[in-house]
Amino acid sequence: MTRIVSGFAGSLSLQVPKSGTRPTSDRVREAIFSALDARDALRGARVLDLYAGSGALGLEAASRGAVSVVLVERGAAAAQVCKRNAAAVVSAARAARQSVPDIEVRAASVQAYLGGARGPFDVVFIDPPYEVSDAELFAVLTALEPLLADEAEVCVERSARTPDPTLPDGLALVRRKSYGETAIHWITPARP
């Protein structure tokens, strides 16, 4: 079972698609959000969750203070799960008398969404299926780069057995951390 860990929706159970997704483990999610909280990156943030699955990463960000979240999920069944989970988070915000984050679910491929998206985004989660090639991930990062805020944080989740992602010139890998079978790559816009 997947739950929101902290914030106004803390302990809220989220639905998970029956198949076709690989939910981020609780341990990895806790590490991701501890790192973001340490940098105070979520309060007032505009968040993009690519390959959203259940939407757990983007919705956790909403619970912790993001003002807007876009969940992008190509699978129709998973996109419906995202919509139900987003509605539960909005209800939790209202019940807690918190400001309600703007949560949008886009049932589209990541490339199609990025082709017409408007930024800037402050925090981006990219958790593609492990079989997504480095070339495809490079194309996603290239399309994402102009949509990032100057101080954006991009979190890419990959198999620990794969090499670091190839990055376009405008992005820089700032750290990599492995958690069992999962590796988290933290990427930011390159500083001139």
CATH 3.40.50.150 for the 2-189 domain, yes or no: yes
* pLDDT greater than 70 at residue 20: no
* pLDDT greater than 80 at residue 23: no
Find the length of the chain: 192
Taking only the tens place, the pLDDT of each residue in 59-117 is 999 999 999 999 999 999 999 999 999 999 999 999 999 999 999 999 999 999 999 99
For residue 97, the model assigns a pLDDT of 94
| 128 neighbors 50 (Cβ within 8 angstroms) | yes
If you search the block for the tokens 């809220």, which residue do you land on?
12
CA of 131: how far to CAs of 25, 72, 116, 169, 177, in Å? 18, 18, 25, 24, 20
Helix count (H) and strand count (E) of the chain?
Answer: 5, 9
- Mean of the pLDDT values across residues 8-21? 85
For residue 21, the model assigns a pLDDT of 67
CA atoms 13, 14, 19, 21: torsion sign: negative
* pLDDT greater than 90 at residue 131: no
Structural domain boundaries of the chain?
2-189
In 3D, which of 153, 160, 164, 170 has the Cα closest to residue 34?
Answer: 153
- Mean of the pLDDT values across residues 155-165? 94
